[in-house]
């Protein structure tokens, strides 16, 4: 349901622009950011303001000053005194905690947004039920559902209201790791089959890399990085966060040959890595290496147990909280190693110097 | 006293208590929701004022009401405008019962609504329902047991109401004489048998209402997962 007021300010149907100023006690949210992608991931530690951004978007933070344009639609413009009520924004929201209405059956929960869904209500209801495979428990009481079933129903309820965009607030956070892996494919199906613009909030790097085209990194109420997922995880601004998550180095790789106890993969630029886990050959994988797991040698070495010795050039050395991040060029990919200042000076690491990065097979994590 | 009089007195008592509860209900629901969801300066004072009729001597409440209803009182212009004289009518008995039962009803509604996570209302709004629809489709159904429980408590309180009713409605046989007032006047007349008979009827009515409140609705509230 579009209001005429919101139709004026339509740019590209995917372009979004959020400018929000909000003070809640001692916390201050101040962002001004834009993107142009079907799926944007808002990424950051808890307490960084992710939920406040979401609540402002939904129209549930009346004290925020904001200019909100989501997927081409203007929702709010404090300057002009324009503010759509939450029920007029047409957003499908899946909150973190289960918020299925306990007094309604699964079917009644799904039909709750039927009025807004308009003439397509019946077909979109059917599509949501099919994509999320919840047809077998439509007439159950929501209190009897498992955690994974609840989140699928919550997602279906948001979809069945025929929203113009989906806002997902850590929809998998309440689930254990196993269950998460089973629900993720449903999210990917929703993304691909409904084709709706999505804003996905998470502090889980796997979900961020898997789902998002664009990644917005939020820290202490500010957007510190914004761009394609992998570039952002590498940007200097996001490095402290990536470090906390063990994601300083993220590579796309293709499996070249599978052994019984190890796997060879190729990364961009042609270098080869050896992993400790067997993987199906010719599959694409995403790998992460912690900066502290990378050793640097100035001479090629064959006397170490580590399986990976990669020729590299020093790009730059950046001091950071008592240690040094040494950025290496692997001939296409960049690798960050964390060293002590003493090691950097005794190895005489300078920009352009040729060195060898050494990584144990076991230190390479597969994240997707 | 004949059986017919006992029956008509019982019927009057039930009617007065039920009318009083039904009249208070919308106000108590609105007030309870407001108090459960809003914070404002002076909220504690307002809460105390709402609870006041519950702890004041009922006779004092009755005197206050009588003053407000009297043709010489501060609201005289209002009663003149409507052409109403409520004091010493069944309507006055209903008013007295409403005022003393209201705090129980309002408090129960307030607690029921306060226990409902706001997220439910927020989700309802984002699914396209305006605040009114959200109230009737989400808040009221989720709080209905508390509302029902409070209604039964207020109804029970109204059944036994004496002090305020005696002052503002008088003890007019067949007109305002409810069971509680009947017991008092039978004792005054020295008819202990009749007084005890009326006590017995009061006892059964109150017991039934309390059993309904505690046994059924009360248990449901405890078992409710919210």
Burial class (CB in 10 A: 0-12, 13-18, 19+), A189: middle
> For chain B, which ranges sit under pLDDT 50?
223-226
For residue B122 the two structure tokens come to: 């927020």
Of A95, A113, A143, the CB nearest to B128: A113
For the cut 70, the answer to whether the pLDDT of residue A297 exceeds it is yes
Question: Cα-flanking dihedrals φ and ψ of residue B147, to 5°?
Answer: -65, -45
Say if A356 is an interface residue toward chain B (CB within 8 Å). no
Q: Which residues of chain B lie closer than 8 angstroms to A58, CB-CB?
A: 122, 126
Asked whether the beta carbons of residue B128 and residue A97 sit closer than 8 angstroms, the reply is no
Number of domains making up chain B: 1
Task: List pLDDT tens digits, range A300-330.
Answer: 887 788 888 899 999 988 887 788 989 999 8
pLDDT-above-90 percentage for chain B: 80
pLDDT at A7: 42
pLDDT at B186: 93
Task: List pLDDT tens digits, range A189-200.
Answer: 888 888 899 999
Looking at residue B126, which CATH number applies to its domain? Answer: 1.10.3720.10
| All domains in chain A, ordered by first residue | 4-245 (3.40.50.300), 249-366 (2.40.50.100)
A178, A180, B25, B147, B225 from A101: Cα distances, Å: 26, 23, 24, 18, 11
Task: Return the residue of A nearest to B128 by Cα.
Answer: A87
Task: Return the residue of B nearest to A142 by Cα.
Answer: B225
Asked whether the beta carbons of residue B123 and residue A99 sit closer than 8 angstroms, the reply is yes
For residue A87 the two structure tokens come to: 């029920």
The closest alpha carbon to B1, from B176, B183, B163, belongs to B183
Average pLDDT of chain A? Answer: 86
Asked whether the beta carbons of residue A59 and residue B125 sit closer than 8 angstroms, the reply is yes
pLDDT at A47: 85
Q: Is A157 left (phi over 0), alpha (psi -120 to 50) or beta?
A: alpha
Asked whether the beta carbons of residue B120 and residue A99 sit closer than 8 angstroms, the reply is yes
Per CB distance under 8 Å, which residues of B are interface residues toward A? Answer: 117, 119-120, 122-130, 137-138, 141-142, 225-226
Say if A92 is an interface residue toward chain B (CB within 8 Å). yes
CA-to-CA distance for A50 and B209, rounded, in angstroms? 50
Task: List pLDDT tens digits, range A14-65.
Answer: 799 999 999 999 999 999 999 998 999 998 888 889 989 999 999 999 999 9
Q: Which residues face A41 on adjacent strands? A: A200, A215
Query: Range of B81's domain?
Result: 3-223
Q: Which residues of chain B lie closer than 8 angstroms to A90, CB-CB?
A: 128
For the cut 80, the answer to whether the pLDDT of residue A368 exceeds it is no
Task: List pLDDT tens digits, range B15-39.
Answer: 999 999 999 999 999 999 999 999 9
SS (H, E, C) chain A: CCCHHHHCCCCCCCEEEEEEEEEECCEEEEEEEEEECCEEEEECCCCCCHHHHHHHHHCCCCCCEEEEEECCEEEEEHHHCEECCHHHCCEEEECCCCCCCCCCEHHHHHHCCHHHHHHHHHHHHHHHHHHCCCHHHCCCEHHHCCHHHHHHHHHHHHHHCCCCEEEEECCCCCCCHHHHHHHHHHHHHHHHHHCCCEEEEECCHHHHHHHCCEEEEEECCEEEEEEEHHHHHHCHHHHHHHHHHCCCEEEEEEEEEECCCCEEEEECCCCEEEECCCCCCCCEEEEEECHHHCEEECCCCCCCCCCEEEEEEEEEEEEECCEEEEEEECCCCEEEEEECHHHHHHCCCCCCCEEEEEECHHHEEECC
* ipTM of the complex model: 0.83
Place of tokens 């109401």: B161
- Gyration radius from chain A CA atoms: 23
């Amino acid at each position: 349901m579009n209001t005429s007021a919101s139709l004026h300010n339509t740019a590209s149907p995917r372009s979004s622009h959020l400018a929000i100023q909000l003070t809640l006690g001692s916390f201050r949210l101040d962002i001004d950011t834009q993107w142009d992608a079907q799926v944007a991931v808002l990424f950051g530690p808890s307490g960084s303001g992710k939920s406040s951004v979401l609540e402002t978007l939904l129209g549930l933070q009346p004290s925020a000053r904001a200019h909100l344009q989501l997927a081409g639609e203007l929702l709010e413009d404090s300057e002009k005194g324009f503010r759509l009520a939450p029920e007029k924004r047409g957003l499908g929201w899946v909150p973190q905690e289960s918020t299925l209405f306990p007094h309604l059956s699964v079917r009644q929960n799904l039909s709750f947004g039927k009025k807004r869904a308009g003439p397509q209500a019946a077909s979109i209801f059917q599509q949501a039920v099919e994509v999320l495979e919840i047809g077998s428990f439509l007439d159950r009481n929501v209190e009897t559902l498992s955690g994974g079933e609840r989140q699928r129903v919550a997602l279906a309820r948001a979809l069945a209201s025929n929203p113009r965009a989906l806002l997902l607030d850590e929809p998998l956070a309440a689930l254990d790791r196993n269950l998460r892996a089973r629900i993720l494919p449903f999210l990917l199906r929703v993304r691909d089959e409904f084709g709706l613009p999505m804003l996905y909030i998470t502090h889980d790097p796997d979900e961020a890399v898997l789902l998002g085209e664009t990644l917005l990194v939020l820290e202490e109420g500010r957007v510190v990085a914004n761009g394609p997922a992998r570039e952002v995880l590498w940007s200097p601004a996001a490095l402290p966060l990536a470090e906390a998550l063990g994601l300083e180095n993220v590579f796309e790789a293709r499996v070249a040959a599978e052994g019984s106890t190890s796997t060879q993969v190729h990364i961009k630029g042609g270098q080869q890595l050896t992993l400790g886990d067997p993987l199906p050959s010719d599959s694409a994988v995403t790998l992460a290496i912690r900066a502290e797991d990378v050793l640097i040698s100035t001479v090629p070495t064959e006397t170490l147990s580590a399986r990976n010795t990669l020729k590299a050039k020093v790009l730059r050395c950046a001091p950071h909280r008592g240690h040094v991040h040494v950025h290496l060029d692997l001939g296409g990919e960049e690798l960050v190693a964390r060293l002590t200042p003493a090691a950097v000076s005794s190895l005489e690491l300078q920009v352009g110097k040729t060195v060898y990065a050494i990584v144990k097979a076991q230190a390479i994590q597969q994240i997707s | 006293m004949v059986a017919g009089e006992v029956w008509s007195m019982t019927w009057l008592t039930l009617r007065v208590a039920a009318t009083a509860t039904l009249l208070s209900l919308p106000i108590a629901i609105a007030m309870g929701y407001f108090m459960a969801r809003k914070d404002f300066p002076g909220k504690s004072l307002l809460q105390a004022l709402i609870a006041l009729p519950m702890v004041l001597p009922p006779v004092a409440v009755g005197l206050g009401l009588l003053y407000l209803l009297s043709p010489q009182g501060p609201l005289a212009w209002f009663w003149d405008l409507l052409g109403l004289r409520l004091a010493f009518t069944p309507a006055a008995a209903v008013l007295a019962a409403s005022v003393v039962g209201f705090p129980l009803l309002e408090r129960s509604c307030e607690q029921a609504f306060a226990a409902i996570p706001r997220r439910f209302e927020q989700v309802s709004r984002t699914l396209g329902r305006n605040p009114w629809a959200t109230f009737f489709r989400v808040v009221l159904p989720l709080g209905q047991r508390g509302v029902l429980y409070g209604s039964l408590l207020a109804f029970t309180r109204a059944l036994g109401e004496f002090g305020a009713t005696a002052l503002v409605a008088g003890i007019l046989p067949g007109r305002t004489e409810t069971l509680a007032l009947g017991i008092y006047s039978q004792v005054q007349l020295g008819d202990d048998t009749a007084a005890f008979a009326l006590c017995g009827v009061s006892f059964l009515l109150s017991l039934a209402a309390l059993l309904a409140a505690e046994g059924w609705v009360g248990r449901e509230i405890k078992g409710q997962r919210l």
